[in-house]
Amino acid sequence: MLAPNFFRGETTGIFRVEDLQNFSSTGATAFAPGTGSTEFLNFRSEIQNLTSPRGGDNFTDVHISADYAGVKMDVQMTPTGKNLYIGGAGGVTISPKNDGNSNQNDHRTLVPGYSWYWGNPTLKLEGTITVGGEKLVIDSDQSRGYFERQWGEFGIAGGHYGYWLYLSNGILIHGWVVGPTVEKPFGIPAWATIWHPNGIHEVLEVDNTTKGFNSWTSEYSGNNYFQDVELNLSQRNASFNIHQVIKNGELGPLPGTEGYNISEAYAQGDGIWENEHITFYGHVEQLSYW
């Protein structure tokens, strides 16, 4: 999992590799000097690069490489199929105001769509990834990834848990719960974007019975995280038991460097969609301020 960003003149990154055979992981977060471009996708630093040819569309021909905190990869990314547009159109505003409740936002000055956010759920990858010191060649025909782009205002003062779930029926669920706490493991806003392989989108309200549980406290940061989430979407007679396989998904800066604390981890589980049993795999992200 890589999350390169260009923010206030610096490159930032989230780096994580998980080995699901022995349940080990490595990674870190970082702020590092780097360069970006307003003319085309050309994001470069000593620890990671994200580039696309000048004159292209900055999407269909993208190369990413990284070598940091035990995470090493060199990959060409090729989007296929239909894109996912978060919130149905790709424009969302979730930056909280005042008491951390984004419902207090003044939409006369912070309009929906100030953050543009979309991705490709059927990404093909070609290249190499190094796991435990062993360089592995990715089988492009069997590969599947998720590549998303986001720019604009996206501060989340209340923290969140977010989830990307590939259901066994072909649907992808991309959702957010903002501002949860251990005492109140649900927050607002909370919504889910449903992506169908034919490109149809649905945006559903997340039920307030949704909750994170099996919380644990990081010895490193003191932050609290959930290992499990019960996600309920009654508009589609749907419910999902999301389990983070490797409990400790927290990443932070390496000693002597700058970064931030966040949890990124593989997840899987089962549930129901329109009263039909399904299984799924995916990813859970948690930014904890609780």
Residue 188: per-residue pLDDT: 86
Residue 91: per-residue pLDDT: 78
Instruction: Break the chain into its structural domains and give their ranges.
Output: 5-287
List the pLDDT tens digit at each of the 290 positions of the chain: 999 988 777 788 999 999 999 999 999 999 989 998 889 999 999 999 999 999 999 888 999 999 999 999 999 999 999 999 998 888 776 655 555 555 555 555 555 555 778 999 999 999 999 988 899 999 999 999 999 988 776 666 678 999 999 999 999 999 999 899 999 999 988 999 999 999 999 999 999 999 999 999 999 999 999 999 999 999 999 999 999 999 999 999 999 999 999 999 999 999 999 999 999 999 999 999 87
Task: Supply the pTM of this predicted model.
Answer: 0.92
Residue 114: per-residue pLDDT: 58
Q: How far apart are CA 205 and CA 182, in angstroms?
A: 21
CATH number for the domain running over 5-287: 2.40.370.10
Q: Scanning the structure block, which residue is given the tokens 């609780």?
A: 290
The backbone torsions φ and ψ at residue 256, rounded to the nearest 5 degrees and listed phi first, read 80, 5
